Amino acid sequence: MAADDSISRQESADSHISRDDSRKYWAGVDATVSGMLGGLPHVSRVDIRGSRNFLAKLGVGSKPGQRVAASALEGGAGIGRVTEGLLLDGIATEVDVIEPIAKFTEGLRGRPGVRSIFNTGLEDWQPADGVQYDLIWIQWCVGHLTDAQLVLFLERCRLALNPGGLIVVKENNSTGGEDDFDQLDSAVTRQDDTLRHIFRDAGLRLVQVELQKGFQADLLPVRMYALKPAQ
């Protein structure tokens, strides 16, 4: 093994994350579904359908026998593609949103069901006093946090859950046997295994996991992880 190789292997992928670089990248992205999804807006319909089916299996929804989440939180919500397309469409009554790029959330202000908007990163977010959630949805954004930041954020989420509440993380998985850093948006794509370790470290247990079906073959695998407090 070359000397350079051994050095790069000692550095974890998340050590390269730069908050400034990722903020710069997202500030330059259009506030559109295409912008949110890297130029693949057609992925959204299949994505939302997969998420809705996943939640239905967990008993969340507005069909008979399911329960609607009175209070939900979405992490890294962007323009609210999921907020409005999934959560406020029969899944939750009121949604708080975390999103660091303020221009993305401008269109969400004052929309029915949208409660608080936190224009901050997940790593800096603190729950408002006395506000608890039945459902916390976090999709396609945790790669901007280091492993340590993600553990701490998920711990705060765990403590902000109502009894019986649920956290869902929906993310790409890397496939090459290691976590991958992407300079373009300064984010890490983690292996399934790394994410499971992080969930455990945050005091969460996996209650259901599912691979998103129906995406085009050249996309990375996407998993939905449903999590509850370990104790």
Ligand X SMILES: C[S@@+](CC[C@H](N)C(=O)[O-])C[C@H]1O[C@@H](n2cnc3c(N)ncnc32)[C@H](O)[C@@H]1O
As a dihedral over the C-alpha atoms of residue 39, residue 187, residue 9, residue 203, rounded to 10 degrees, the angle is -130
Among 54, 104, 118, 181, binds ligand X (CB under 6 A): 104
CB of 223 within 8 A of CB of 194?
Answer: no
Stretch that binds ligand X, among 62-70, 71-79, 89-97, 203-211 (CB under 6 A): 71-79
**Smallest separation (angstroms) from ligand X to the CB of 148:** 13
d(CA 140, CA 148): 18
Any idea how long the chain is? Answer: 231
Q: Which is nearer to ligand X, 186 or 194 (CB)?
A: 186
Candidate list 21, 123, 180, 192; residue touching ligand X; CB under 6 A: 123
What are 172's two structure tokens? 């790409």
Footprint on residues 141-200 left by ligand X (CB under 6 A): 141, 144-145
Site for ligand X (CB under 6 A): which residue of 50, 61, 78, 165?
78
Q: Does 54 sit near ligand X (CB under 6 A)? A: no
Task: Give the sign of the dihedral formed by CA 58, CA 62, CA 66, CA 67.
Answer: positive
Residue 81 assigned as binding residue: yes
Task: Enumerate the β-bridge partners of residue 73.
Answer: 96, 136
> Taking CB under 6 A as the rule, does residue 99 contact ligand X?
yes
Span near ligand X by CB under 6 A; candidates 61-69, 94-102, 110-118, 223-231: 94-102
Reading the block at residue 16, the tokens are 């390269």
Residue 98 in contact with residue 118, Cβ under 8 Å? yes
The tokens for 214 are: 């129906």
Binding segment (CB under 6 A) for ligand X, from list 52-60, 86-94, 120-128, 199-207: 120-128
Contact 142/14 with Cβ under 8 angstroms?
no
- 191 in a known ligand binding site: no
Spatial distance between the Cα atoms of 4 and 10, rounded to a whole number of angstroms: 10
The window from 50-58, 74-82, 111-119, 204-212 that contacts ligand X (CB under 6 A) reads 74-82
Q: What residues form the annotated binding site?
A: 76, 81, 139
- Which residues of the chain form contacts with ligand X (CB under 6 A)? 22, 26, 36, 76-78, 81-82, 98-101, 104, 121-123, 139-141, 144-145
